[in-house]
A = this chain, B = another copy of it.
Amino acid sequence: MDIQEKIAGEITIAENPGETIRKWREEFQVSQLDLARYLEISPSVISDYESGRRKSPGVTSIRKIVNALVEIDLKRGGQVLRRYNSGMPSDAIIDISDYSHDISLERVIRMISGTNYSSIGLNRYIRGYTIVDGIKAILSFSYSEYSKLYGWSSQRIIFFTEVKLGRSPMIAIRVHPLKPAAVVYIQPDRIDDLAVKLADVENIPLIVTELDAPAISKIMASLK
Contacts and interface: CB of A to CB of B under 8 A. Distances in A.
A87 to B, nearest CB: 14
A5 interface: yes
Interface stretch (A37-45, A61-69, A183-191): A61-69
The size bracket of the interface on A is: 35 or more
Interface string A121-157: 0000000000000010011011110100000000000
Interface string A56-78: 11111111001000000000000
A66 B13 contact: yes
Contact of A172 (B10, B142, B175): B175
A177 interface: yes
A84 to B, nearest CB: 8
- Which 3 interchain pairs have the tightest Cβ spacing? A9-B9, A56-B58, A5-B9
